[in-house]
A and B are shown apart, each in its own frame.
Chain A
């Protein structure tokens, strides 16, 4: 029983980690909290749904397809909303407010279009297969989650730590002006990071949509609340922290649902967030960022 709970917690934690990774990457490099990020999560799920339903793609194709489409949408949204603010060097809060307004706008439009009905993947995509290893039940969608998350996290770590492009991204995150003086193409990197983050958010949406087989426009909003808890616990902009904190939240949630009350499951993230802010505001691996005038 406990082992099964822990296992299920790890699977949902892996998706939280994936989701938070894009979020924290965006903050780390672009220096803004982009609240439309939850919308990418919903978008990814809907694109995958339509790709499997009308284009009859198998899920292995639909998942990367949805990620790429969401990534492209993320570039456009970032350009439209945050581009003007970046050029005007507007204060930090402006970007928060503009993306907040856009979130309401996008969700309302999405709800008007798709309604709030819960949609499901066609049965052929999601045959709900499962098998047992030593009494532990593992579903096929959970295996898809682990494989996808492992590939993406590994690929991202390789990109950031081992390639020249990754060096440019890290340089831009450290200090934008200096990086530009060193010949880093800031506009290009901003677009690339928007694309990667959007794709990560979209992929997470597909995986959660598959795991619970329920897709609905506002699914991204709930996920954002978990995302906030994860990036605060992990430390804002900290990639290692985001992965670990995602797993921690997933496990704590399943344990709460299993041993306490399933209705309180969605409140765990918030409690974790407030506790972190009181006890250790810099997050798990704590890197204090000095604020310069």
Chain B
């Protein structure tokens, strides 16, 4: 039995890791969508996390857990710089400010010879295994469910439903939105670090427009009623092209098509249900 399991893990290793990493990315997108904002910087945050942990382990020999902390902190700082001025404005500003982030980062890494330039970074130690990835996913999921059931979760849902009303009720709008963006950047950064430390190679072209739209399609397909929705979306959209081989070439077309259809015809996603509240009246 153990042997069969080991065999299975070995055969489908990269798919299983991708399922975990993509679920984390979907959760990072969820955190921002949960306060009614759209961040298109998730792929860039992932890239910053991947590059900072890869550089620290490869060039400075920092142990993986230490690098992971920086991989969470660096994109959070970037998110703060972008988010602090934009989140006081209307919702479209964050999307506009973050959509160019991936491209600017690509130019930056492409011209940064120390980080490998166009060739990217090779020989990153493969230290992020099954336990790390799915442990982090379990922690993130549990934490977000706990938040959903708390006062903070209710405030977030109020912002999503009606920002002006939530503000009048005393919810500190900019603080909540900024906190959500910073947390989401940290999750994306950790996911990026895991990705770098299972594939042993990263390049400057992996964190662009296609990547962020794909992450968004995870969250929207699953639905943002609860944190389980985005994870389901990530699992479906990561496994589907593997199961149905012919779909593989049209992956981007399908991701785009799914976003269009879900937003227009299925705004709640596949899992529209919300999580019950503590102390909610029956």
Show the binding face of A for B, using Cβ within 8 Å: 33, 35, 81, 84-85, 90-94, 96-98, 100-106, 108-109, 112, 221-222, 224-225, 228-229, 232, 236, 261, 263-264, 266-267, 269-271, 273-274, 277-278, 281, 289, 291-293
Contacts and interface: CB of A to CB of B under 8 A. Distances in A.
B97 A101 contact: no
A91 B253 CA distance: 25
Contacts of A264: 107, 111
B260 A105 contact: yes
B256 A277 contact: no
Contacts of A273: 96-97, 100
B220 interface: yes
A92 B92 contact: yes
B61 interface: no
B164 to A, nearest CB: 4
A33 B96 CA distance: 9
Identify the 6 closest CB pairs spanning chains A and B, nearest first: A101-B259, A105-B256, A104-B256, A293-B164, A108-B252, A98-B263
B40 interface: yes
A267 B38 contact: no
Interface stretch (B9-17, B69-77, B208-216, B240-248): B208-216
A115 to B, nearest CB: 14
Interface stretch (B52-60, B80-88, B133-141, B195-203): B80-88
A101 to B, nearest CB: 3
Given A98-B264, A104-B213, A269-B100, A93 B165 contact: no
B263 A274 contact: no
A277 B263 CA distance: 28
User: Which secondary structure dominates where chain B touches chain A?
Assistant: helix
Given A96-B95, A100-B216, A293-B165, A281 B85 contact: yes
Contact of B99 (A91, A92, A228): A228
Contacts of A225: 99-100, 103
Residue of B97, B216, B264 with most chain A CB atoms under a 10 A cut-off? B264
A273 B101 CA distance: 11
B278 interface: no
B251 to A, nearest CB: 9
B91 interface: yes
Contacts of B256: 101-106, 108
Nearest to A102: B260
B111 to A, nearest CB: 5
A266 B162 contact: no
B257 interface: yes
A271 B99 CA distance: 13
Contact of A104 (B82, B104, B210, B264): B210
Interface string B101-123: 10110011011000000000000
A100 B40 contact: yes
Interface residues of B, number: 48
B164 A291 contact: yes
Interface of B: 36-38, 40, 81-82, 84-86, 88-93, 95-97, 99-101, 103-104, 107-108, 110-111, 162, 164-165, 209-210, 213, 216-217, 220, 250, 252-253, 255-260, 263-264, 267
B263 A33 contact: no
Nearest to A236: B92
A81 B100 CA distance: 23
Contact of A33 (B82, B95, B252): B95
Nearest to B37: A93
A100 B36 CA distance: 16
B96 A101 contact: no
Contacts of B209: 104, 221
Given A221-B209, A270-B103, A277-B93, 20 more contacts: A33-B96, A91-B36, A92-B90, A92-B92, A93-B36, A93-B37, A94-B263, A96-B38, A98-B263, A102-B259, A104-B209, A104-B252, A104-B259, A225-B103, A266-B103, A277-B86, A277-B97, A281-B86, A281-B88, A291-B164
A97 B164 contact: no
B213 A100 contact: yes
Given A93-B36, A293-B164, A293-B165, A222 B103 contact: yes
Contacts of A112: 253
Nearest to B103: A225
Nearest to A112: B253
A270 B260 contact: no
A101 B99 contact: no
B253 A101 contact: no
Quick one: which of A109, A277, A281 has the most chain B CB within 10 A? Answer: A277
A92 B89 CA distance: 13
Contacts of B111: 261, 263-264
